[in-house]
Amino acid sequence: MGTLSLRDFKEVKIPAPWGHIAGRWYGNRQERPILAIHGWLDNLGTFDRLISLLPDYIGVLCIDLPGHGRSSHIQPGMHYAVLDYVSIIPRVMKEYGWSKVSLMGHSLGGIMSFLYTSLAPDTVDMVISLDIVVPGTPVPKRLIGILAHNMEKHLVEEDRQGNLHEPPSYTLSQLTEVLAKGSSNSVTPDLAKHLLHRQVLKSRLYPDRYYFSRDGRVKFYNLTNMDPGLIEEMSKRIQRKPYLIIKGSDSRFVGVHTEKPIAILRQNNPHFEFYEVKGGTHHVHLHAAEECARYIVPFIRHHRPPALTSWSLTGKELQLSTNEKRREQERVLERSQNQLSKL
């Protein structure tokens, strides 16, 4: 079978009380797609390199979370919170009339997938979790410091927006470095363009400079730090659900603190899979897309096999070589650069 093309997508806007949720629906739009959810401070561009490696018989709906990418910001005076983000999943399902959902999430998107699956397991048919498993459980003293910091900084950001002050601006070259530094170089400068084209605007104050268009308040969102006992009980509710976890070997997001929930997810579950990508950082799906696809593609084909009516089964099946896939990714990257240059 062939693979998805990054050129074959439909821009979508899902209505919400605060505005809309922006997204791109890649590939097959006749059947229920995989819902792909990015990580904190990222946007749907995080899946660019992975999308073109996935089987073309199934669609993928990638969304920008509120306050990220091209989705609307929430109202002034409100806070972003993980549990509120979880409600985005049933909102999307309701919009398209899905009774089931297939989830693929990175970081915050993976946490959302875990939480939603534990709350409504009968509505989920598979989960792909990229370098994350469950919400964090920081030590109390550190958590108090984080909460105090976020409270203060959120008010500062709210005041800046209320006074219509433009955020700090940078040249395009500086933006790639800022993004790389902010991700602890998990998103390297050469990969930053996959994210920047959906989250920067041209400065109205300084020629040739740009600023991050995402809502500054998302940096100080309300954390969901759960008691280990609660996480274990939520893990048990998932039971025998098809669940794939891919860890970057150089990442700290999956480690000793996740051993118990992983053991629960694995217990008596023939549909549980766990893999580690050597040298992978937190954005393992972006910089090591080919390695991730080796595990994700068979998982999708097994748990979401092509329907007999699938459009990809009519006519001659398209076979893309590795070089063709890379050229496709290069064309997308070139288009992203062109979009930035036109801002």
Catalytic residues: 107
> Is the separation of the CB atoms in 340 and 197 below 8 Å?
yes
**Which residues lie across from 105 on neighbouring strands?**
37, 129
The SS3 of residue 309 is: coil
Q: Dihedral of CA 283/46/319/34: which sign? A: positive
Name the H helices within the chain: 48-51, 82-86, 88-96, 108-119, 140-162, 172-182, 193-196, 228-238, 259-266, 284-287, 289-303, 322-342
> Residue with structure tokens 């997308």?
332
Q: Yes or no: say if 114 and 134 are a contact pair by the CB < 8 Å rule.
A: yes
